[in-house]
Structure 1
Amino acid sequence: MSPALDPDLLRSFVLVAEGGSVTRAAMRVGRTQSAVSMQMRRLEEALGQPLLVRGPKGLTPTAHGTWLLERARLLLGMHDEIVANFRTPSIAGHVRLGTPDDYALVWLPEILAGFAETYPAVEVEVVCLPSTDLLPMFNRGELDVTLFSSGHDTGGAEPETLWRGPLRWVGSATRAAHKVRPLPLVLAHNGCLWRRAAAAALARAGVPWRMAYSSASQTGTHAVVLAGLGVTVGLSVQPPPGLRLLGPEDGLPALPELEIAMVRRAGLPVADALAERIRCGFSAGSAGTGRLAA
């Protein structure tokens, strides 16, 4: 008989593989580092293959681990949905969700669709604004749950990391604005973490640049990039048609990693329910058309 796969082992494996660290995964699941290391050994013994290998950037999946990672995300998403449907009491009301539009199109469609199926009596109000606007709104009590780029001041609220990955340059698939010098950038305002990361990377690489266009929305930046008037910065996910990811082979320096975090209002059952659905959606990799790029 084939060995049964414990969802707890798979959940810890996904967190280790995504974060590159047993310590970070242990903090997420509330276990000791040695306990998570033991889980990884049990999973590898059950499957008969090494799943993780240590490299210069921490633990990374082997070929078998990469294959498992994609399927473990899907399995955990289904597992958590089943448990939520049978264990969660009926909840009704109104919940206010804040998110940068960069994340809304990538993750939220499947998350919100699943939440609506489980909690049909809950009305979700979605506010799309930059992280620098969303966090003050949350601290003023105008939002119940918000996603944001980690690194901004949360005003004392305890953040929860949902996703971690490198930022990437994004340019036109048919035009070569990335070859122009000074490099024309299409980004948000000066307080934007992505803009600061781009400027710092270009400065270190000695690449001259100028701001060609500023927009607080991803739709605005993508429109200008599609026109071939500049390059922007985005998540390491497959960009919309007409755009492509750029990198060192295009003469652009590597960008740092980004963490997407979440804060929620304590003591509000409807906010807890939405936060749990968001957490499960990110854990399962439910990125819809925003698949992680190769």
Structure 2
Amino acid sequence: MRRYDLELLHTLATVAETGSLSAASLRLSRSQSAVSEQIRKLEESCGQILFLRGKKGSTLTPVGQRLLGHARSMLSLNDAVYLDMQGISLAGELRLAITDYFQPAGLAAILKRLHDQYPALRLHVSVRKSVEIEQTSSADEFDIGLSMRIVGEPIINAQKPDSPHKCIPIRREPLAWVASPSFVMRELEPLPLIALPGTCSQQRYMLAILKESGVAHYVAHSASGVLGLQSALSAGLGVSCLNASAVPAKVTAFRGRKGLPILPEVEFNLIVPHVFNSAFAAEAAAMLAQQFR
């Protein structure tokens, strides 16, 4: 009897969540050809076609949908076994503050997996801006935060000798200029942007780097959160910059304007207040770091 490769099943789940091989390759930090080869191997192992590929992305076939359900169960069980072998068992209440730039399409599945693996752990999740997470981390408003920053920019109040909290790097993702394939850039027109309020550090960075590079632009649509920004992008209302795991399905890299500045990476960090004074917080942080990576 053949045994399925968990790495191949993980790739299947990632392509299903992101909606395309290109988006999955960004999340998995692999080339698109490597992701395609993994899906090919899995289809060969199954003897079935798992995805229908088209201009708008990759869609699961009915067989692929069935395998995805099994894959998620197997991946969750694998994580549970690993944690059990490590002697990690958490019980209690944990207040978790998360930036909405972190895997918007996959976050609910991650939280569900945490619930299944740690039935005695009661999670209280709130979505906040990264700057709020970093600035209020010592105000006893949450136990652990997950924030995002532009690589090279300092984390507020973190990594200082007298810092009240610990910063744990989780993952890095590329930033990219993105737009819907339906968006048409008119010649000589200023770049129409989809932006978030000025309190968002990533949006401030986007506006600043365009101004510094001398790219004419204007805010065509202002959204209140990442979900609204994704909807406006999908509708073809303009261009924005997003980290890889926040790019919605059917939105792609934008190459309709020459001279756009090269964007850096972003880094996600766990912010753990009073980590050295709480064994529970330290253990929970180690568990979350493993899950979010």
Same fold flag (TM > 0.5): yes
2:202 to 194, 216, 219: 194
User: How far apart are residue 180 of structure 1 and its match?
Assistant: 6.9
Q: Tell me which moved more, 219-228 or 124-133.
A: 219-228
Q: What is the aligned partner in structure 2 of residue 101 from structure 1?
A: 100
Superimposed CA distance per residue, residues 186-234 of structure 1 (whole angstroms, 9 cap, x where no aligned partner): 2223243312332233234321111233334111212222332222221
Native 8 Å contact 2:173 2:245 kept in 1: no
Letter of the 2:180 partner, please give it: S
The DSSP-based 3-state class of the residue aligned with 1:94 is strand
The DSSP-based 3-state class of the residue aligned with 1:134 is helix
Q: Tell me which moved more, 94-103 or 235-244.
A: 235-244
User: How far apart are residue 261 of structure 1 and its match?
Assistant: 1.0
Native 8 Å contact 2:98 2:126 kept in 1: yes
1:214 corresponds to 2:249: no
> TM-score scaled by structure 2?
0.62
Q: What is the aligned partner in structure 1 of residue 90 from structure 2?
A: 91
Structure 2's unaligned 5+ residue stretches are 1-28, 37-74
Aligned length: 220
> TM-score scaled by structure 1?
0.62
User: How far apart are residue 238 of structure 1 and its match?
Assistant: 7.3
Native 8 Å contact 1:177 1:229 kept in 2: no
User: How far apart are residue 262 of structure 1 and its match?
Assistant: 1.1
| Cα separation, 2, equivalents of 1:98 and 1:231 | 28
Q: What is the aligned partner in structure 2 of residue 245 from structure 1?
A: 253
Instruction: Please show how residues 11-26 of structure 1 align to structure 2 within 5 Å.
Output: none
Identity over aligned pairs, percent: 25
The DSSP-based 3-state class of the residue aligned with 1:139 is coil
| Cα separation, 2, equivalents of 1:148 and 1:178 | 36
| Cα separation, 1, equivalents of 2:81 and 2:191 | 49
1:275 corresponds to 2:275: no
Change (3 A) 1:144 1:179: farther
Q: What is the aligned partner in structure 1 of residue 125 from structure 2?
A: 126
User: How far apart are residue 126 of structure 1 and its match?
Assistant: 0.9
User: How far apart are residue 281 of structure 1 and its match?
Assistant: 2.6
1:154 corresponds to 2:157: yes
| Cα separation, 2, equivalents of 1:179 and 1:163 | 38
| Cα separation, 2, equivalents of 1:243 and 1:122 | 36
The DSSP-based 3-state class of the residue aligned with 1:260 is strand
| Cα separation, 1, equivalents of 2:239 and 2:189 | 12
Instruction: Please show how residues 46-57 of structure 1 align to structure 2 within 5 Å.
Output: none
Native 8 Å contact 2:239 2:254 kept in 1: no
Change (3 A) 1:196 1:210: same
Letter of the 2:217 partner, please give it: W
| Cα separation, 1, equivalents of 2:239 and 2:279 | 42
Structure 1's unaligned 5+ residue stretches are 1-59, 68-75, 284-294
Superimposed CA distance per residue, residues 167-191 of structure 1 (whole angstroms, 9 cap, x where no aligned partner): 1122122122586732122222324
| Cα separation, 2, equivalents of 1:180 and 1:275 | 50
| Cα separation, 2, equivalents of 1:147 and 1:98 | 6
Native 8 Å contact 1:185 1:230 kept in 2: yes
Superimposed CA distance per residue, residues 218-264 of structure 1 (whole angstroms, 9 cap, x where no aligned partner): 112122223322222211247323422224x6433321111111111
User: How far apart are residue 90 of structure 1 and its match?
Assistant: 4.1
Instruction: Please show how residues 132-147 of structure 1 align to structure 2 within 5 Å.
Output: 132-147=131-146
